[in-house]
Amino acid sequence: MNQAKQGSAPLLSVEHVAVHFGGLVAISDMSFGVHEGEVVSLIGPNGAGKTTAFNIITGFLRPTKGQVHFRGAALHQLKPHQVASVGLVRTFQKTSLFLTNTVFDNVLTGLHRHGSASAWGTLLGLASVRREEERLRQTVWEILDFVGIAHRANELGGALAYGEQRLLGVATALAADPVLLLLDEPASGMNPSETADFMDLLGKIKARGITVLLVEHDMPLVMGVSDRIVVLNYGKIIADGPPQAIQQNPDVIQAYLGQGVKHA
């Protein structure tokens, strides 16, 4: 990340967010930012609050206190579909696909959010509607090729191996044209070869100008793709910095990474 970007206002700003479930404190005080063009990873032990943080950012939960801003506008009172409409799109820890639809139709469903055809135009078979439908279908092929599953286009989502289902989730999210893509454990269930390919895909996503916020347990992946890593432990941020600094941070090593991190 260059110095100019570092000195600019964050694309996403999470400010003193706390989340309480009754007497349980899921997040006590969380503040961090994500700048345009970055790949930022949010890591921490199980139960640290990472998925809760994603749910707050994307409108699935309301914070007990604190604020979330995207491009300077408040997000923390918006509903999930409103958050998505401004350019924050997420995948889920558990795949949320249409398992009985084809891979192609899963991605086409994501694209239709941007279509302009009216119901009447569709029913009447207007030429403009047919042209738009063809444009959308071409875009689906481009996205499937981009993530590497075009050869699975006609298979049912539920028939894919788990790692390929994760890629389909990413493809469907990309169809929504994100400014900021939030990926919740996208490499879960992938074998080492698939994980290496996914690291390459993240590089291509970044090269397209899409900012990425990532929750992931695979430390070699995190260290290999991240511009910056934010470490959450017991609902608090304990470190925020580039991968090399995080690897050597004694608090992070004690809380999460362990002594083996230097060889990860």
Shared domain for 78 and 41, answered yes or no, is: yes
Shared domain for 92 and 170, answered yes or no, is: yes
Query: Are the CB atoms for 235 and 26 separated by under 8 Å?
Result: yes
CA atoms within 13 A on the CB side of 182: 22
Residue ranges with strand state E in 35-159: 39-43, 65-70, 73-74, 88-90
Shared domain for 57 and 78, answered yes or no, is: yes
The CATH number of whichever domain residue 156 belongs to comes to: 3.40.50.300
Shared domain for 117 and 136, answered yes or no, is: yes
Q: Which of 124, 153, 177 is the last residue of a domain?
A: 177
Residue ranges with strand state E in 80-136: 88-90
| Mean pLDDT per 10-residue interval, the chain, length 264 residues | 59 94 88 96 86 91 93 88 90 71 90 52 59 86 96 93 90 93 89 92 95 92 95 90 92 70 38
| C-alpha dihedral, 203 to 206 to 212 to 214, nearest 10° | 0
Shared domain for 47 and 97, answered yes or no, is: no
pLDDT at 257: 63
- Which residues form the domain of 80? 1-85+212-264
Q: Which two tokens stand for residue 130?
A: 């047919």
Instruction: Tell me whether residue 188 is in a domain.
Output: no
Instruction: Tell me whether residue 186 is in a domain.
Output: no
pLDDT at 22: 84
Around Cβ 212, how many Cβ atoms within 10 Å?
Answer: 22
Query: Are the CB atoms for 87 and 179 separated by under 8 Å?
Result: yes
End-to-end CA distance of the chain: 22
CA atoms within 13 A on the CB side of 186: 30
pLDDT at 95: 60
Shared domain for 100 and 77, answered yes or no, is: no
Shared domain for 72 and 97, answered yes or no, is: no
The total number of structural domains that make up the chain: 2
How far apart are the C-alpha atoms of 144 and 122, rounded to whole Å?
A: 25
Global pTM?
A: 0.85
pLDDT at 259: 43
Q: Which two tokens stand for residue 201?
A: 């895909």
Q: Which of 125, 153, 177 is the last residue of a domain?
A: 177
Instruction: Tell me whether residue 184 is in a domain.
Output: no
Which candidate, 6, 84, 79, places its Cα nearest to that of 40? 6
pLDDT at 261: 43
Instruction: Tell me whether residue 193 is in a domain.
Output: no
